[in-house]
Structure 1
Amino acid sequence: MTPSLRAIGWPYAAQVEDAAWRETLSAHPDARPARVIEQHRSGYVVAEGPDAGIKAESPPEWQRASSYRKGGIAPEERAAVGDWVLLEGKRIVALLPRHSAIKRGAAGEHYKQQLIAANIDTVFVVCGLDADFNPRRIERYLVLIGGSGVEPVVVLTKADKAIALEASAVDDARAALDDVAQGVQVVAVNAKDPDSVAALAPWLSAGESIVLVGSSGAGKSTLTNTLLGIEKMKTSEVRESDSRGRHTTTHRALIPLPSGACLIDTPGMRELKPTGEEDIAENFSDIEALADQCRFRDCRHAKEPGCAVRAAIEAGTLDAARFANFLKLRDEVAGAADKLATRLAQKANDKVQNKSLYKRIDDKYGKH
C-alpha cells in the first residue's frame, strides 16, 4: 500500500487481508488497485492517488443490459463511486469486495437497485434549516442507511439564517428530530463558515470516506467547498418561495480533503425508494417496543382493544405523523422485499437454464 492510495481511502490491513480481497488480488497479479472517483453513463474515472483521475474502460459484462441470459450483470453489481477496482492498463479487470454500500430503489415500476456510494464509513444527511427542513424525509434517509454498517450523521445547514429569523430555530429543529434521529448525532452548521463546519471534524479524519446525501439546495456543495477550502463545486441560490435548489451537482464524485478524508458529493435526490433490504425495526424501535405491549400479538393498531400504540398516540407520547410514516415505510419495504425475492428467484432460474443449455451444447459438440 502506497501513501497515494491511503490518501484516497485505501482500507487498513485487516480488510486487505480478508480472504475475498486476497483471492481477487491474487487472481490478477499484474493488476494495480484504483478507486472509482466519478461515474458517468459513458464510463468511469478512477484514481491511484489524490492528484488526478484517468478514464477507465469497464468490463464487457458491465456494458450489457442486465439480462443474465445475455451475460450481463445487474447495475448494483457493477462499480460505483467509492469502489475499489483492479486495472490493467486503463481497463478495469475486477471489482474488489465492498465493506459497505448505500443503495436506494431506482425510479420506475420495475425493481432495480441504484448504488449511491460504496466503501463508505459515514453518511452526512444534509438538510437546510429553511423550507427544506423535513423530519419525515430525514427519517426516510435513516431507514435507507440503516443496516448498511455505515454511521449516519444529520447535518443541519443554514443555521446562521435560521437563527437570524428565530433565536430558538436550531433548538426547535433538534427537538423535532428527537424521535426521528434516535441515537444519531445531529450537528447544526453554517456551511459557509470554516469555524462552524469544524464541528464535523470527528468524522473527517485521514482514511475515512464520507458521502453527502440530501435534496437540491440543502447546501451539500457549499459544505464541500468549505471543507476543501476552495470553490471547487458549483453552487446556486435557492428559490425563496420554497427553498428549492437546482441540481448544481450533476454526478457523484469522490474528492480528497485536506484532512486526509474522502468526500463524495451527490446530486439531490427527489425520490427515496427502499430496496427491500432495510430493517424498519432498527429506526422505529420505540414503536416496535409499544407494539410488544399490545393485548393482541397480531394487533394492527387500528381499533383493537388494548392497543398500546394507539394509547400512546392519544396520550401524546407518540407522534401520529411518525406512526403514519412508519406504516407507509413498512408497507413500501415489504413491497420492495417481495419484488427483490422475485428477482432473485428469476436470477437463480436463469442460471439453472444457462447451465442446462451449456451442458446440452457440450454433449452435442464436445467441450472446448
Structure 2
Amino acid sequence: MPGAGRSVASATTTTPDDPLADLGWGPDLDAALPIGLAPARVVRSDRGWVTALGRFGEVRLRFDPLHPLSPTPTTGDWVASAPGDDLVAAILPRRTALVRAGAHDEATPQVLAADVDLVGVCVPLSSPPRAGRIQRYVTLGWASGATPLLVLTKADGALGPQAASEVAAMAPGVEVVVVSARDGRGIDDLRARLRGGRTMVLVGPSGVGKSTLVNALVGRDAMATGAVRESDAKGRHTTSTRELVLVPGGGVLLDTPGLRALVPWDDGDGLARAFPDIAPLLGTCRFSDCQHRGQPGCALEAAVAAGQLASGRLEGWQRLHDDLSRIEAETETRLRTSRSRPGRSGRSGRGGRR
C-alpha cells in the first residue's frame, strides 16, 4: 500500500505558517488532540484505509480490524496517529457532520462529510428549479451544524435573474451566490468565503455543475465532468467518491456524488431553520395534536388562507416532516427491540456529530 508505515510528524501547536491551518485546524482541535499523536485530515476514505493530509504531506492510514473505530472515519474527519505508525489511533471530535438517512435503510444514518463550515446547495439556472429538492438540501445543511449556501450554477443559462429570485424565495434566510464557471462570475466570491481554512461541501443531484465548479475554484481539472442531456437536464455521475480538494489561497472543497433521493437526518433544528416562516406557527393550533391537514383551528392552514404563508411552503414542510417522523418512529422501534434483548443496551445512533 502506498504510504504504509508512514505517519505525519508529531503534533505541535498551530502557528500562522502551519500547513494544517489551511485545512481548518484550530485551537479547539489542538486541545482535543491526544498527547503524543499527530493530526491529519481525511481526504478520502476507502475500505479499511484513509488517505489523509498531515503537516508533511499525504499519508495512508489504516484501521485496526480488531478494534473498530466509532464513528468510522469519513471524508473531512480529523484523525490522529502515533509517529512512525500507519494506524489510525483516534478520531477527533466532529464540529459538524453532514448526515442523510441511509439510501437502503432509512433508520441507519449515513455520514457524507465531517467538519464542514458551508454546505453549498448547487442549483442550476439552466432548468426550472424544484422547490422540494432545494428544501431538502437546505434542511440537510442546517441539520449538519454548518451553514447552507445557495450556489446558483450555470448563471449563463436560459432562465436568468428571475429564476435566481425564485430560488432565493424557496429558502428564506439562506444566502445566495450566483456563479458561472464559463465566464467566472461569482468564483472570487466563493473563494473569499473559504479563506481562513474554511471547508465547503457541494451537494446536489448529478448535472448541476458541482465538479465544473470545483475545477473553476481550484484553477485546474481536479474533478472529471460529464455532459448533461438537453432533453431533461440530467447529468451523468462523474463524481463517484467524496474527496477533499485544496483551494489556492486557503480553504477546502468537497465534491459529492449526485444524490437521486435524499432524506436528511435531522436530530436537531434543521427542519425548523429551513422553514423559518413555519416554525413560529407550530404549537399555536387549536389542538396540540393537529396534523395540519384539514383539522379545525390549524394555524398553518389559516396562514395559507390569509396569504401569509405560501401553500407550496406548507406542502414542502409536510413532506419533509412526514419523512423525518417516519424515520424517528423506525429508529425508536429498533431501539426498543435492541433494549429488550438480553445483554444489550441499544442506542439510536441519531445524529452523526459527537
Residue 284 of structure 1 and its aligned partner are, at CA, apart by 2.0
Percent identity over the alignment is: 37
CA contact (8 A) 2:140 2:266 kept: no
Residue 195 of structure 1 and its aligned partner are, at CA, apart by 4.5
- Measured in 2, the distance between the counterparts of 1:306 and 1:345 equals 35
Which position in structure 2 is the counterpart of 1:48? 54
CA contact (8 A) 1:36 1:83 kept: yes
Match status 1:92 vs 2:88: yes
CA contact (8 A) 1:146 1:278 kept: no
Q: How many residue pairs align between the two structures?
A: 327
Which position in structure 2 is the counterpart of 1:271? 261
- Unmatched tracts of structure 2, length 5 or more: 1-13, 346-354
Return closer, same or farther for 1:149/1:344 CA change in 2, 3 Å cut-off.
Answer: same
RMSD (Å) for aligned C-alpha atoms: 2.6
Match status 1:58 vs 2:63: yes
Return closer, same or farther for 1:187/1:90 CA change in 2, 3 Å cut-off.
Answer: same
Q: What SS does structure 2 have at the residue aligned with 1:161?
A: coil
CA contact (8 A) 1:124 1:154 kept: yes
TM-score if structure 1 supplies the norm length? 0.80
- Measured in 2, the distance between the counterparts of 1:8 and 1:44 equals 16
Return closer, same or farther for 1:345/1:99 CA change in 2, 3 Å cut-off.
Answer: farther
More helix by share: 1
Could you list the per-position Cα deviations for residues 239-293 of structure 1 after superposition, in whole angstroms to 9, with x for gaps in the alignment?
A: 0011111111110111111021011111111121232514322222322334455
Could you list the per-position Cα deviations for residues 310-329 of structure 1 after superposition, in whole angstroms to 9, with x for gaps in the alignment?
A: 23323444222221221111
Which position in structure 1 is the counterpart of 2:315? 324
- Measured in 2, the distance between the counterparts of 1:278 and 1:116 equals 17
- Measured in 1, the distance between the counterparts of 2:327 and 2:338 equals 16
Residue 173 of structure 1 and its aligned partner are, at CA, apart by 3.2
CA contact (8 A) 2:77 2:92 kept: yes
Q: What SS does structure 2 have at the residue aligned with 1:53?
A: strand
- Measured in 1, the distance between the counterparts of 2:154 and 2:106 equals 37
- Measured in 2, the distance between the counterparts of 1:210 and 1:144 equals 14
Which position in structure 1 is the counterpart of 2:351? none
Return closer, same or farther for 1:295/1:342 CA change in 2, 3 Å cut-off.
Answer: closer
- Measured in 1, the distance between the counterparts of 2:212 and 2:98 equals 22
Match status 1:256 vs 2:246: yes
Which position in structure 2 is the counterpart of 1:118? 114
- Unmatched tracts of structure 1, length 5 or more: 63-71, 355-368
- Measured in 1, the distance between the counterparts of 2:198 and 2:105 equals 36
Which position in structure 1 is the counterpart of 2:10? none
Return closer, same or farther for 1:33/1:105 CA change in 2, 3 Å cut-off.
Answer: same
Q: What SS does structure 2 have at the residue aligned with 1:222?
A: helix
Which is higher, the Rg of structure 1 or of structure 2? 1
Return closer, same or farther for 1:236/1:186 CA change in 2, 3 Å cut-off.
Answer: same
Among 184, 187, 197, the residue aligned to 2:187: 197
Q: What SS does structure 1 have at the residue aligned with 2:295?
A: coil
Which position in structure 1 is the counterpart of 2:77? 83
